[in-house]
Structure 1
Amino acid sequence: MKFKGVIFDLDGTLVNSLEDIADAMNTVLQDLDYPTHDYDDYQYFIGSGLRNLVSKSLPKTHNDENQIERCYHSMIEIYRDNCTNQTKPYNGIVELLDELKSRNIKLGVFSNKADALTKEITAIIFPGYFNPIVGLSVESLKKPNPFEAIEISKSLGLKPEEMIFVGDSGIDMQTATNANMHAVGVIWGYRPEEELIANGAKHILSHPLDLIPIL
């Protein structure tokens, strides 16, 4: 078997969390009498961490660092209490994880979502499947920085080239390439196929179980 481990992105790859994220941010915007955004807008705001999403969501006239910081903390407080209201696995994900476990493939998660939220959501929705689960704790280490991905491979006792990295964004594909892992993009998430290919995807999945033949 060529590959012995898989690292998954979380939002847009394992779970559809768009509505919970958007609803939390829109609550913050409504409380400030700022314009809100629809779900289609938020799928382009997601991917570079929640602080970056807050910045993209705020009006340009109210986008200074102090306001971003205040709104970020407000958004996190709301989102933390509502992060699994509507968030659910994409169809076929649980079946894929069961198949990977049956083949003794080691599984990890690496997300640009805040570390505590990444761990909480993954543990609630996918208990027992992933170890390690890594979110964003240091801004400079967020994807496409490959540091955490490489650390995950080390913790699993694998070389980076023995790992597949699965994600739904160009940033995920860049992370895989930077870490010397096999970049696999999914088209059920928040970004188009063209973005994935342009950023180095070696394979494109239209259904989770399409990953199995790549092993």
Structure 2
Amino acid sequence: MMIKAVVFDLDGTLLNTLEALSYCMSLTMEHFGLKKIDKEHTRYFVGEGARKFVDRSLIYNGDKELKLANEAYKVYDEIFARDCLKDVKPYDGIMELLSDLKNLDIKTVVLSNKSQSGVEKNIHTIIGEGVFDFIYGERPGIPKKPDPTALNLIIKELGFSKDEILYVGDTATDMKTALGAGVTSIGVLWGFRDENELRENKADYIVKSPCEILEIIKEYKALS
């Protein structure tokens, strides 16, 4: 089958948001007199939505019972709304890949555990409007990744079969999401996690640069 759509994770896949995430959470923790969250810890605290990020940061700071959680969520939301674009940029080769996919008439979608407004702000400001066919962030009543519900909804909306879709991400959460939905997964090595995590979570492909994704798509075309 030919590939007709590519679904991308956002953080660590399309955009390098590590500085912004670390900065916003550090300001949140400092609001409560707690330690900053450096970029190395941020790599492993993110990936399952803002609330999990806040929870893990509080636990790291000793609040194991999450007594500050509700207030911290509100503080983080305010800071993130203001500073979520700090030093954010596309990874090398991403803009070229998106252009190539458009030229091949391949649909592109973003699926993130970030808030819908946060995803749209990042994509529209850094990458541009009208680049993606659909943008899916956190939505009421739809469980976050790695639950495959959102990805299955995207597949239904696209109207393609599952073997015509690639899912691209950088974490175990992403690989589990693809596996749960029954689509082919591509794990990227330029993001927040390492190769071992991607292999342990059954990535179908692992790539070192965005141009390799295009080569995979061309292989599918040659075999069709």
Q: Say whether the fold is shared (TM-score over 0.5).
A: yes
**Partner SS state of residue 151, structure 1:** helix
Unpaired segments of 5 or more residues in structure 1? none
Instruction: Give, in whole Å, the separation in 2 of the partners of 1:138 and 1:200.
Output: 29
**Residue 50 of structure 2 corresponds to residue 25 of structure 1:** no
Matches within 5 A, 1:126-145: 126-127=127-128, 128-138=130-140, 141-145=143-147
Identity score, percent: 36
TM-score (norm 2): 0.91
1:206 corresponding residue in structure 2: 208
1:2 corresponding residue in structure 2: 2
Instruction: Give, in whole Å, the separation in 2 of the partners of 1:54 and 1:10.
Output: 19
Deviations 1:66-106 (A, max 9, x none): 52121111111111111112111000000000000000000
**Residue 12 of structure 2 corresponds to residue 12 of structure 1:** yes
Instruction: Give, in whole Å, the separation in 1 of the partners of 2:125 and 2:157.
Output: 22
Instruction: Give, in whole Å, the separation in 2 of the partners of 1:105 and 1:126.
Output: 17
Instruction: Give, in whole Å, the separation in 1 of the partners of 2:79 and 2:127.
Output: 22
2:96 corresponding residue in structure 1: 95
Deviations 1:173-212 (A, max 9, x none): 1101111111100000000011111111111110001001
**Partner SS state of residue 68, structure 2:** helix
1:38 corresponding residue in structure 2: 38
Against the structure 1 CA distance between its residues 68 and 135, is the aligned structure 2 distance closer, same or farther, given a 3 Å change threshold?
Answer: same
TM-score (norm 1): 0.95
Instruction: Give, in whole Å, the separation in 2 of the partners of 1:86 and 1:213.
Output: 30
Deviations 1:159-179 (A, max 9, x none): 222110000001101101111
**Residue 116 of structure 2 corresponds to residue 115 of structure 1:** yes
Q: How many residues align?
A: 215
Instruction: Give, in whole Å, the separation in 2 of the partners of 1:68 and 1:160.
Output: 38
Letter in 1 for 2:88: T
- Contact kept, 8 Å, 1:109 with 1:132, in 2: the verdict is yes
**Partner SS state of residue 58, structure 1:** helix
- Contact kept, 8 Å, 1:150 with 1:160, in 2: the verdict is no
Instruction: Give, in whole Å, the separation in 2 of the partners of 1:92 and 1:22.
Output: 24
- Stretch deviating more after TM superposition (188-197 or 125-134): 125-134
Instruction: Give, in whole Å, the separation in 2 of the partners of 1:129 and 1:157.
Output: 19
Letter in 1 for 2:85: T
1:54 corresponding residue in structure 2: 54
- Following TM superposition, by how much is the alpha carbon of 1:214 offset from its aligned partner in structure 2, in angstroms? 1.0
Letter in 1 for 2:3: F
